[in-house]
Amino acid sequence: MNGTPSPLAMAAEGLAPEVSVSRDIIKKGLWIAPLVMGLGAIIWGANGAWSAGLGLAIVLINFGLAASLIAWSAPISLALMMGVSLFGYLIRLGLIALGVFLVRDVSWVSLPALGITIIVSHLGLLFWEMKFIAASLAFPGLRPNAQEWKPSGPAEKP
């Protein structure tokens, strides 16, 4: 024992960036919801529209739940965050499976529309958000709150 605290006993302090990322993803998802439902209606008819809406809702709830679990556990300890991330993955997959099984025999559900919407909207929203995050990291001046960000100038001489 050398007195150094274990990394797993440490806790992450400060703001929860995943909450703002997931909030941003959910906002974008709600913006594109009419478009997704419209595409579902064009391809699969009225049932496709409702199923596409349900698929998008599942994806957005999944993002929100993932972010909430990490944001809740990180300030407690990094070990708990690891556990919650891994078991949260299993729990969220189980919840998605349960949600789909509960509605699989409902008359207005089209399973191909539901499945394809889940995959396409999950990946599409992620790539959209990743592009935004990568751009804001590379060019901080482009951030919406750029006024608050000030570049560090040369150190003042005493």
Partner 1 sequence: MEAIARLIAAEAATPADAKNTAAAASAGYAYGLAAIGPGIGIGYLVGKSVEAMARQPEAAGMVRTTMFLGIAFTEALALIGFVVFILLKFA
Kindly list the residues in this chain that would bind partner 1 in the complex (CB under 8 A): 7-8, 10, 12-18, 21-22, 62-63, 66-67, 70, 74, 78-79, 81-82, 85-86, 89-90, 92-93, 96-97, 100, 104, 111-112, 114-116, 118-119, 122-123, 126, 129-130, 133, 137
In the complex, minimum distance from the CB of residue 9 to partner 1, in angstroms, rounded to a whole number: 10
In the complex, minimum distance from the CB of residue 40 to partner 1, in angstroms, rounded to a whole number: 15
Rg (C-alpha) for the chain, rounded Å, is 21
In the complex, minimum distance from the CB of residue 158 to partner 1, in angstroms, rounded to a whole number: 25
Q: Which is nearer to partner 1, 34 or 140 (CB)?
A: 140
Find the farthest-apart pair of alpha carbons in the chain and give their distance in angstroms, rounded: 76
Chain-centre distance for alpha carbon 39: 22
Q: Which is nearer to partner 1, 41 or 67 (CB)?
A: 67
Looking from the CA of 152 toward its CB, the CA atoms found within 13 Å total 1
Place of tokens 């539901």: 114
Q: Is the dihedral of CA 117, 123, 127, 133 positive or negative?
A: positive
In the complex, minimum distance from the CB of residue 110 to partner 1, in angstroms, rounded to a whole number: 9
DSSP single-letter state for residue 138: H
